[in-house]
Structure 1
Amino acid sequence: MADPALSFVIERTGDLLIQKIVFLKDVRRQVERLRNDLVRMRCFLKDADQRQDEEERIRHWVSEIRDAAYDAEDIIEIFASKVEFIKDKGLVTKLTYYPLKFVNLYKIGKEIKSLRMRLKEIADSREEYGIKNLGEGTTTHGEELQRLRRSSPFNEDKDIVGFEEITKSLVAELLKEDRNRRVVSIIGMGGAGKTTLAKKGYNHADVRERFNCRAWVCVSSIYNHKETLRTIIKQLNPITNELLDMLEKMQEQDLEQRLYQDLEDKCYLVVLDDVWKEEAWDCLARAFPDVNTSSRLLLTSRNRDVAQHADALSKPHELKTLGQEDSWQLFLRKALAHGDNAGCPSDLEEVGREIARRCAGLPLAITVIGGLLLAKKKLKSEWEKVLNSFNTNLSKSQSGVSAILELSYADLPANLKFCFLYLGLFPEDFVISVRKLIHMWVAEGIIQNRDAKNLEETAAYDDVERLCSRNMVQVAEMTVDERIKSCRVHDLLRELAIRKADDENFFQIHDTRDDKISAKSRYLAVHVLPWDENYLGSSTPPLRSLLFFNVHGYMENISLNLKSFGKLRTLDLENVQIPYNLPKEIGEVRLLRYLCLRYTSIARLPRSFGCLRNLQTLDMRTRATVVVLNFIWKLESLRHLYAYDIRLDIYNIRWNESLKIEGLKNLKTLSRVNFDDIMHNNMITLTSLQKLGIWVDDMSEIDKLCMHLSEVGSLKTLQLYFDGSSQQPTLGGLSKLHHVTELKLSGVDLRMLPPDFPPNLSRLSLKFRHSTDDPMPVLEKLRQLSFLKMEFEFEGPEHMVISRHGFHQLKFLQVGRLNHLDEIKVEKGALPQLLCMRIRDCGRLRKLPEELKHISTLDMLELVDMPKDSISRLAADMAFSVPNLRIFDS
Structure 2
Amino acid sequence: MAEAAVVLALGKLVTSFGVSSLRTSIEKEATLLKDLPHIAKHIERELDMIHHFLSQVGTKIYSNKVLEGWIVRVRKVAYCVEDIIDEYCYNITLVQDEGRFKRVIHKTFFTNAFHRIAVELKDIEEEIKHLSQLKRDYREMFNELLDNASDNADMHLLSSNRSLHSIKEYEIVGMKEDMELLDKWLDPKELGRIVISVWGFGGLGKTTLVRKVYDWEKGLKSFDCYSWITVSHNYNIDAISRKLIQELSEDQSKVPSDLDTMHRGQLNKALKEVLSYKKYLIVLDDVWDTGAFHELIDSLIDDYKGSRIIITTRNNDVASLAQEMYKMKLNPLGNDDAFELFRKRCFQKSNMEYPSHLEELSRQLVNKCGGLPLAINAIGNVLAVQESREIVWRRINNQFRCELEDNPGLDKVKSAMSISFMYLPRHLKNCFLYCSMFPQDYVFNRELLLKLWIVEGFVKQRGTSTLEEVADGYFIELIQQSMMQLVENDEIGRVVSCRMHDIMRELGLTFSRKERFGLADINIETENKDDVRRLLMSNQEQVNQLLRSTMDLPHLRTFIATNKVANYQLLCLLISRCKYLAVLELRDSPLDKIPENIGDLFNLRYFGLRRTHVKSLPRSIKKLSNLETLDMKSTKIETLPKEVAKLKKLRHIFAEKLDDPEEKELRYIRGVKFPHGIFDLVQLQTLKTVEATKKSVKLLKSLPDLRLLCVENVRRDDCATLFSSLSNMSQLNSFLISANDLNDPLDFDAFNPKSTKLEKLFIRGCWDSETFWKPVFRNYGANIKYLTLTFCKNIADPLLSISSSMPNLIFLSIRRGCWAEDITLRAGWFPHLKTLCLGNMELRRLCIEEGAVIRLEVLLLLSLMSLKEVPKGLDLVRSLKKLNVSMPHHEFKVEWERDNWKMKLHHVQDIRV
TM over 0.5, shorter chain: yes
When residues 161 and 850 of structure 1 are mapped into structure 2, their CA distance, relative to the original with a 3 A threshold, is: farther
1:861 aligns to 2:870 (yes or no): no
Deviation track 1:307-339 (CA, whole Å, cap 9, x = no partner) reads xxxxxxxxxxxxxx899657757999xxxxxxx
Q: For structure 1, which runs of at least 5 residues remain unmatched after alignment?
A: 140-159, 167-189, 194-320, 333-342, 354-368, 647-655
1:473 aligns to 2:484 (yes or no): yes
Amino acid at match of 1:120: K
Map 1:12-91 → 2, pairs under 5 A: 12-17=12-17, 22-23=22-23, 25-42=34-51, 44-46=53-55, 49-91=58-100
Give 1:593 shift: 1.6
- Equivalent-residue separation in structure 2 for 1:776 and 1:385 (angstroms): 47
**Bigger relative CO (Cα 8 Å, ≥ 6 apart):** 1
When residues 805 and 424 of structure 1 are mapped into structure 2, their CA distance, relative to the original with a 3 A threshold, is: closer
Instruction: Tell me, yes or no, if the aligned pair for 2:9 and 2:82 is still in contact at 8 Å.
Output: yes
1:766 aligns to 2:799 (yes or no): no
1:711 aligns to 2:717 (yes or no): no
Report what 1:824 is aligned to: 846
**SS at structure 1 position matched to 2:837:** strand
When residues 324 and 621 of structure 1 are mapped into structure 2, their CA distance, relative to the original with a 3 A threshold, is: closer
Deviation track 1:267-295 (CA, whole Å, cap 9, x = no partner) reads xxxxxxxxxxxxxxxxxxxxxxxxxxxxx
Deviation track 1:153-209 (CA, whole Å, cap 9, x = no partner) reads xxxxxxx8425999xxxxxxxxxxxxxxxxxxxxxxx9999xxxxxxxxxxxxxxxx
Instruction: Tell me, yes or no, if the aligned pair for 1:843 and 1:867 is still in contact at 8 Å.
Output: yes
Report what 2:644 is aligned to: 632
Amino acid at match of 1:559: C
Give 1:549 shift: 1.0
Instruction: Tell me, yes or no, if the aligned pair for 1:853 and 1:882 is still in contact at 8 Å.
Output: no
**SS at structure 2 position matched to 1:476:** strand
Give 1:599 shift: 1.1
Instruction: Tell me, yes or no, if the aligned pair for 2:490 and 2:496 is still in contact at 8 Å.
Output: yes
**SS at structure 2 position matched to 1:377:** helix
- Equivalent-residue separation in structure 1 for 2:19 and 2:859 (angstroms): 49
When residues 322 and 86 of structure 1 are mapped into structure 2, their CA distance, relative to the original with a 3 A threshold, is: closer
- Which one of 780, 799, 803 corresponds to residue 822 of structure 2? 799
Amino acid at match of 1:863: N
**SS at structure 2 position matched to 1:477:** strand
Give 1:740 shift: 6.2
- Which one of 771, 785, 796 corresponds to residue 755 of structure 1? 771
**SS at structure 2 position matched to 1:587:** helix
Report what 1:569 is aligned to: 582
Report what 1:151 is aligned to: none
Map 1:37-436 → 2, pairs under 5 A: 37-42=46-51, 44-46=53-55, 49-126=58-135, 127-128=137-138, 131-132=141-142, 161-162=175-176, 349=228, 351=230, 373=288, 377-378=292-293, 398-436=410-448
When residues 626 and 135 of structure 1 are mapped into structure 2, their CA distance, relative to the original with a 3 A threshold, is: farther
When residues 679 and 74 of structure 1 are mapped into structure 2, their CA distance, relative to the original with a 3 A threshold, is: same
Deviation track 1:592-642 (CA, whole Å, cap 9, x = no partner) reads 221111111222222221222222211111431244321333222221111
- Equivalent-residue separation in structure 1 for 2:179 and 2:74 (angstroms): 55
Give 1:693 shift: 0.5
Amino acid at match of 2:5: A
Report what 1:458 is aligned to: 469
When residues 111 and 535 of structure 1 are mapped into structure 2, their CA distance, relative to the original with a 3 A threshold, is: farther
When residues 577 and 569 of structure 1 are mapped into structure 2, their CA distance, relative to the original with a 3 A threshold, is: same
Report what 2:670 is aligned to: none
Q: TM-score, length-normalised on structure 2?
A: 0.65
Instruction: Tell me, yes or no, if the aligned pair for 1:549 and 1:574 is still in contact at 8 Å.
Output: yes
When residues 868 and 716 of structure 1 are mapped into structure 2, their CA distance, relative to the original with a 3 A threshold, is: same
Amino acid at match of 1:719: L
When residues 839 and 97 of structure 1 are mapped into structure 2, their CA distance, relative to the original with a 3 A threshold, is: farther
Give 1:91 shift: 3.5
- Which one of 807, 811, 833 corresponds to residue 833 of structure 2? 811
Instruction: Tell me, yes or no, if the aligned pair for 1:798 and 1:822 is still in contact at 8 Å.
Output: yes
1:702 aligns to 2:719 (yes or no): yes
When residues 846 and 350 of structure 1 are mapped into structure 2, their CA distance, relative to the original with a 3 A threshold, is: farther
1:611 aligns to 2:592 (yes or no): no
Report what 1:441 is aligned to: 453
Amino acid at match of 1:885: Q
- Which one of 749, 752, 765 corresponds to residue 736 of structure 1? 752
Instruction: Tell me, yes or no, if the aligned pair for 1:371 and 1:470 is still in contact at 8 Å.
Output: no
Q: For structure 2, which runs of at least 5 residues remain unmatched after alignment?
A: 24-32, 151-173, 181-200, 217-221, 233-283, 298-309, 315-373, 379-404, 659-672
- Equivalent-residue separation in structure 1 for 2:568 and 2:603 (angstroms): 30
Give 1:86 shift: 2.2
Report what 1:661 is aligned to: 678
1:525 aligns to 2:525 (yes or no): no
Report what 1:590 is aligned to: 602
**SS at structure 2 position matched to 1:739:** coil
Amino acid at match of 2:861: I
- Equivalent-residue separation in structure 2 for 1:71 and 1:94 (angstroms): 28
Map 1:659-698 → 2, pairs under 5 A: 659-676=676-693, 679=696, 682-698=699-715
Amino acid at match of 1:670: L
Report what 1:280 is aligned to: none
Instruction: Tell me, yes or no, if the aligned pair for 2:11 and 2:457 is still in contact at 8 Å.
Output: no
Instruction: Tell me, yes or no, if the aligned pair for 1:2 and 1:49 is still in contact at 8 Å.
Output: no
Instruction: Tell me, yes or no, if the aligned pair for 1:474 and 1:489 is still in contact at 8 Å.
Output: yes
- Equivalent-residue separation in structure 2 for 1:331 and 1:587 (angstroms): 67
- Equivalent-residue separation in structure 1 for 2:3 and 2:724 (angstroms): 53
**SS at structure 1 position matched to 2:788:** strand
Give 1:675 shift: 0.9
- Which one of 546, 555, 560 corresponds to residue 542 of structure 1? 555
- Equivalent-residue separation in structure 1 for 2:604 and 2:698 (angstroms): 26
Instruction: Tell me, yes or no, if the aligned pair for 2:794 and 2:817 is still in contact at 8 Å.
Output: no
Report what 1:5 is aligned to: 5
Amino acid at match of 1:695: E
Instruction: Tell me, yes or no, if the aligned pair for 1:639 and 1:669 is still in contact at 8 Å.
Output: yes
Range 20-29 or range 468-477, more displaced: 20-29
Instruction: Tell me, yes or no, if the aligned pair for 1:602 and 1:626 is still in contact at 8 Å.
Output: no
When residues 694 and 885 of structure 1 are mapped into structure 2, their CA distance, relative to the original with a 3 A threshold, is: same
Instruction: Tell me, yes or no, if the aligned pair for 1:27 and 1:105 is still in contact at 8 Å.
Output: no
Instruction: Tell me, yes or no, if the aligned pair for 1:719 and 1:745 is still in contact at 8 Å.
Output: yes
Matched residues, percent identical? 19
Amino acid at match of 2:653: L
Amino acid at match of 2:790: K
Report what 1:886 is aligned to: 910
Deviation track 1:235-285 (CA, whole Å, cap 9, x = no partner) reads xxxxxxxxxxxxxxxxxxxxxxxxxxxxxxxxxxxxxxxxxxxxxxxxxxx
Report what 2:188 is aligned to: none
Which protein has the larger Cα radius of gyration, Structure 1 or Structure 2?
2
Amino acid at match of 1:585: N
Count of equivalent residues: 677
Give 1:117 shift: 2.8
Q: TM-score, length-normalised on structure 1?
A: 0.66
Q: Which has the higher helix share?
A: 2
Give 1:90 shift: 3.1
When residues 496 and 873 of structure 1 are mapped into structure 2, their CA distance, relative to the original with a 3 A threshold, is: farther
